[in-house]
Copies of this chain bind each other. A is one copy, B any other.
Amino acid sequence: MSRSRTTVVDIAHAAGVSKSTVSLVLQGSPLVNEKTREKVNSVIADLGYVYNRGAANLRQARSKIVGIVVNDLTNSFFAELAVGMDMVVQSAGYVQFLAHSGESVDRQREVIASMRENGIAGLILSPARGTEAADLKPLIDSGIPVVVVVRNLSGAKVSTLLSDNYTGAKAAVRHLVSLGHTRIGFMGGFLDTAVFAERLRGYRDALQEAGIAADEALIVHSAPSRAGGVAAVERMMLLADRATAALCLNDAVAFGVCDGLRTVGIEPGKGFGVIGFDDVIEAKTAVPALTTVSVDPQGMGQRAAQLLLKQINAGGNEQESLVTSVRLVVRQSCGAPVRNNHLEEMA
């Protein structure tokens, strides 16, 4: 039940200047006299004025809002990614629409449309499974910069930021080989994502490099979640000649695999080597601490946001594709000697 908003005109009136001058002050223009600036600022504070960015956007057609759409916020990898983005977005003076698509392309389309109506200056998208390049076409054609992260979207004319899944997976498998494993599995994930394909390719190439024959039975698909990991390990246990270690699609699957191993009485890291991918925060404190390929989600989020802001400021729409490097973090879950704790191998 507040009386109508105070505006620049109210401020101008109270300070005895014109609205143009007030506007200049608000923008920190050097044109305005120091005395006047102080006067105006004090009136602003007195009247409890709040700037109306919407009105400003209307006039200048460039907003300070970025859109972020993430496929699954409940996965801590993406939550951390979002936090990283949040950090740089906020400190650049922007705000973000942050939405969760829940892997639904329809939902994703809706939120992007809604963000567009609300005038975003750019979009960072971690696409839901099944997203087509065409889905982003209208947005891109309208000249709004888009950065796609984590998952690739082939054919779209956008900037992308991916982690080096291939090299990371390869390094992980090499590590298992160096520990003497020869029956190495790959657990979790489905064929439909580029992330899966890349990691699997790294896995295959590392095996080949080591002269180990690939055994398709050791590649067990499952949902890319903790529950999926449990399911995967159950199926793995049914095999006559099962693996002695496995690279998991991500940390969530790896935790599930550890859970599953325990229920059949195998201690992860002793009877079976487990390597994850992502290095979420829990990886460090879990028991056993998880050996994993570190992607530094928060750092990746920051880099994505920086990339987007750069494109917004440049105005141009030349795309840029970055691959962020990853590194293998050796902890306890694959039976490495305990003294090697926290030792890091380059990947």
Q: Whole-angstrom distance between the alpha carbons of A99 and B299 in the complex? A: 17
One digit per residue, 1 when the CB lies within 8 angstroms of any chain B CB and 0 when it does not, for chain A 197-228 equals 00000000000000000000000000000110
Specify which chain B residues have a CB less than 8 angstroms from the CB of A76 in the assembled complex. 74, 76, 79
**A263 within 8 Å of B by Cβ?**
yes
**A119 within 8 Å of B by Cβ?**
yes
By Cβ-Cβ distance, the 7 closest A-B pairs, closest first, are A98-B98, A259-B287, A2-B143, A262-B287, A53-B117, A79-B79, A54-B54
One digit per residue, 1 when the CB lies within 8 angstroms of any chain B CB and 0 when it does not, for chain A 51-84 equals 1111101100101110000000110100110110
**A271 within 8 Å of B by Cβ?**
no
One digit per residue, 1 when the CB lies within 8 angstroms of any chain B CB and 0 when it does not, for chain A 40-52 equals 0000000010111
**A115 within 8 Å of B by Cβ?**
yes
**A138 within 8 Å of B by Cβ?**
yes
User: Are A110's CB and B90's CB within 8 A?
Assistant: yes
User: Are A86's CB and B100's CB within 8 A?
Assistant: yes
Given contact pairs A54-B54, A97-B98, a sample of 17 additional A-B residue pairs in the complex whose CB atoms are under 8 Å apart:
A2-B141, A2-B143, A50-B113, A55-B58, A58-B58, A64-B118, A65-B118, A74-B80, A86-B99, A86-B100, A90-B107, A93-B114, A95-B111, A95-B114, A96-B98, A226-B285, A258-B287
A67 to chain B, nearest CB (A): 9
A280-297: which have CB < 8 Å to B? 281-282, 285-287
Specify which chain B residues have a CB less than 8 angstroms from the CB of A122 in the assembled complex. none
Across the interface, name the chain B residue whose C-beta is closest to A260.
Answer: B287
**A313 within 8 Å of B by Cβ?**
no
User: Are B263's CB and A1's CB within 8 A?
Assistant: no
Specify which chain B residues have a CB less than 8 angstroms from the CB of A63 in the assembled complex. 54
A305 to chain B, nearest CB (A): 13
Copies in the complex: 2
Specify which chain B residues have a CB less than 8 angstroms from the CB of A93 in the assembled complex. 114
* Size category, A interface: 35 or more
Given the interface pairs A73-B83, A83-B100, A90-B107, the reply to whether A118 lies near B54 with Cβ below 8 Å is yes
User: Are B99's CB and A143's CB within 8 A?
Assistant: no
A273 to chain B, nearest CB (A): 18
Q: Whole-angstrom distance between the alpha carbons of A86 and B68 in the complex? A: 13
**A181 within 8 Å of B by Cβ?**
no
Across the interface, name the chain B residue whose C-beta is closest to A118.
Answer: B53
Q: Of the candidates B79, B117, B138, B141, which one forms a contact with A73 in the assembled complex, judged by CB atoms under 8 Å apart?
A: B79
User: Are A116's CB and B50's CB within 8 A?
Assistant: yes
Q: Whole-angstrom distance between the alpha carbons of A50 and B112 in the complex? A: 12
Specify which chain B residues have a CB less than 8 angstroms from the CB of A102 in the assembled complex. 83
Across the interface, name the chain B residue whose C-beta is closest to A55.
Answer: B58
Specify which chain B residues have a CB less than 8 angstroms from the CB of A1 in the assembled complex. 143, 317
Q: Whole-angstrom distance between the alpha carbons of A95 and B68 in the complex? A: 12
A28 to chain B, nearest CB (A): 15
Specify which chain B residues have a CB less than 8 angstroms from the CB of A281 in the assembled complex. 74, 226
